Structure 1
Amino acid sequence: MYPRIRALREDHDLSQRQVAEMLGMSQTGYSKYETGENDIPTAVLIKLSTFYRTSVDYLLGLTPVSTPYPPSK
């Protein structure tokens, strides 16, 4: 359901455990986001978009292009 968060994590050479620690949660809980078993809360989407410097729309698959976050002025 959320293939882009997995792709971004792998592109940054990070483990699920590392991303989970950054989010303050367990690796198992984070894994359920990547597989779509659990929906990602808005607050977590915002943290992930800030961490990966992309938009929430990109993470959700609403736009095909990863735009920098925050947007350039």
Structure 2
Amino acid sequence: MLKERLKYCRKKRNITQEKLAAALSINRSTYAKYETGENEPDNQTLKMLADYFDVSVDFLLGRTDDESPISIAFSHRKDPLTKEEEEYLERQLEEFRQWRKRFQQQDE
């Protein structure tokens, strides 16, 4: 399932293997092997891929069909999130990602 999800996410973003590999600082051939199933990413790389594609690791592994990274973190709670809480967390996550992106650009 991982290889299919990686290819799906990459094509959805309309990015080449080469550009994706460069963005993640890995070799294109290494990434290509993830998509063919010849090799699997280590945990750190799997997290980087999930962050890059803005999906959960569970989505990449086929444990859920929900691409949202937040829903997985809170899906097993005894008291499920309300729609309002989900929307709030999504906004907070987006603000954090924008802040992180600006911060990373300052370091370059």
Give the TM-score normalised by the residue count of structure 1.
0.89
Structure 1 portions without partners, runs of 5+: none
Q: For residues 23-68 of structure 1, what are the alpha-carbon distances to aligned partners after superposition, in whole Å with 9 as ceiling and x for unaligned?
A: 111111110001110011111110111111110000011111211x
Which residue does the alignment assign to 1:10? 11
Structure 2 portions without partners, runs of 5+: 71-85, 90-108
Give the TM-score normalised by the residue count of structure 2.
0.62
- How is 1:34-73 mapped onto 2 (pairs within 5 angstroms)? 34-67=35-68, 69=69, 71=70, 72=86, 73=89
SS of 2:35's equivalent?
helix
RMSD between superposed Cα atoms in Å: 1.2
Identity percentage over the alignment? 32
Larger of the two Rg values belongs to structure: 2
SS of 1:39's equivalent?
coil
- Number of residues of Structure 1 aligned to a counterpart in Structure 2: 71
Structure ranking higher on relative contact order (CA contacts 8 Å, 6+ apart): 1
Aligned partners of 1:39, 1:27: CA distance in 2, in Å?
14
Which residue does the alignment assign to 1:33? 34
Aligned partners of 2:51, 2:17: CA distance in 1, in Å?
17
Could you list the structure 1 runs, at least 4 aligned residues long, displaced by more than 3 angstroms after superposition: none
Q: Write 1 or 2 for the structure with the bigger share of helix.
A: 2
